[in-house]
Amino acid sequence: MGSQKSAMKLTIERAALLKSLAHVQSVVERRTTIPILSNVKLEGRGGLLSLNATDMDLDIIEAVPADVVRPGATTAPAHTFYEIVRKLPDGSQVEIEHDAESGQLTLRSGRSKFSLACLPVEDFPVLSGGELPFTFSLSAAELKTLIDRTRFAISTEETRYYLNGIYLHAAASDGVDVLRAVATDGHRLARVEITLPSGAAGMPGIIVPRKTVAEIRKLIDETDGEITVSLSETKLKFAFGDAVLTSKLIDGTFPDYERVIPADNDKVLVVDCKSFAQAVDRVSAISTEKSRAIKLALEKGSATLSASSAENGSAVEEIEADYTSTPLEIGFNSRYLMDILAQVEGDTARFAMADAASPTVVREMTDGGAIYVLMPMRV
């Protein structure tokens, strides 16, 4: 009876399988020393095929409609399985059968037949349970906003591991309760907020790892529904549609970011965001790969961007700008500046500066809750 139980057999549409497989296999690490972690767990029952992959820190389960002839479960090499399905012709049906005796998974489609070596489903790790005391809902659009407008500032420096993610926490902004996302790498900082969802009050501040941020962003790309978020101090779960993503959190303390957001920068520059970004992009063609430095020279009613490098030459461009303070020359990393300008919503950006050595604050005219901070460079 045992072999019959695990002899799974089902038929599924290639397109549906490919889409879900693309989501789950991207969690699988290419170089893992634990063989089972290279595999995706397949479980067919009740008209669904559920696909599950993990790297022990992050776990994705996604279910796809399938014609399940015999229920069962097994695990197969994730990347190979994905490559096969990806190369099958569009519109085809895929028949998947697991033979428990031989430990092989057979895929048939049209005239093609593939056999894959499986590993026992019992060996597939389960991310341990545990209570997730806080649960709230976000729209996909809200989650996309929190991620897209902060993720560029996530640090990639492994030594400061507590900066390798987005800090998500409840805060008060002008007396309004908000859910705030913050990321910084020490050179720039992004802070974005939305109204605090009900159920999120009192939640612990959590640091969502960079890989988790990337995977959940891919998952929600094509959805516009509600996303249920559940969390504890050590774990986070996103659930929507047919997918559930569970992740461990970064165990560390995020720095007091409020301290680095200057409140009294009095030199204010207002620019048209798009044309300013294009000018920065043009002038930065001259700056060296390494420093990417550009200089901004400000006088009443005028602003000039310039860059120079010993090997490339120099570039200058005057831009239309609203500036009424005392003259100032300040240098920035052009890449960092463009990253920020790309996130500013609305037509105009407002720069508040103190001097050439202090952090500059960039805000947008439309959303008061979004703040970007950029450290200047010596040029």
Mean pLDDT taken over the chain: 94
More confident residue, 310 or 67: 67
CB 124 within 8 A of CB 39: yes
Chain CA centroid to CA 289, Å = 26
Amino acid 51: pLDDT: 98
List, in order, residues 6 or more apart from 60 with CB less than 8 Å away: 23, 24, 27, 52, 53, 54, 215, 219, 243, 244, 245, 246
pLDDT tens sequence across 232-261: 999 999 999 999 999 999 999 999 999 999
pLDDT of 327-368, one tens digit each? 999 999 999 999 999 999 889 999 999 999 999 999 998 877
What span, in angstroms and rounded, lies between the C-alpha atoms of 236 and 224? 20
> What phi, psi does 355 have (nearest 5°)?
-160, -175
Residue 221 has pLDDT above 50, yes or no: yes
Quick check: 3 pLDDT over 70? no
Fold of 9-123: DNA Polymerase III; Chain A, domain 2 (3.10.150)
pLDDT of residue 174: 86
Q: How far apart are CA 253 and CA 45, in angstroms?
A: 43
For residue 290, is pLDDT > 90? Answer: no
Band of residue 311 on the pLDDT scale cut at 50, 70, 90: confident
Q: Domain 134-259, what fold?
A: DNA Polymerase III; Chain A, domain 2 (3.10.150)
> CATH: 3.20.20.80, 3.10.150.10, 3.40.50.300, 3.40.50.1820. Which one for 262-374?
3.10.150.10
Q: What one-letter code names the amino acid at 307?
A: A
The mean pLDDT value for 21-37 works out to: 94
Triad 348, 353, 357: Cα angle to 5°: 140
What pLDDT does residue 5 have? 45
For residue 328, report the phi and psi dihedrals to the nearest 5 degrees.
-150, 135
Chain mean position to CA 38: 22
Do domains 134-259 and 262-374 share one topology? The answer is: yes
Query: Residue 6: which pLDDT band, with cuts at 50, 70 and 90?
Result: low
Among residues 192, 379, 351, which one has the least CA distance to residue 265?
351
Strands 39-45 and 134-139 turn out to be: unpaired
Domain boundaries along the sequence of the chain: 9-123, 134-259, 262-374
The crossing angle, in degrees rounded to 10, of helices 273-283 and 334-343 is 160
CA-wise closest residue to 362 among 256, 280, 253, 292: 280
The stretch 41-47 carries a mean pLDDT of: 97
Residue 368: what pLDDT? 74
pLDDT beyond 60 at 2:
no
Contacts of 377 by beta carbon, 8 Å cutoff, 6+ apart: 291, 293, 331, 332, 333
- What is the tens place of the pLDDT at every residue in 113-170? 999 999 999 999 988 778 999 999 999 999 999 999 999 999 999 999 999 999 999 9
Record the pTM.
0.93
pLDDT score, position 222: 84
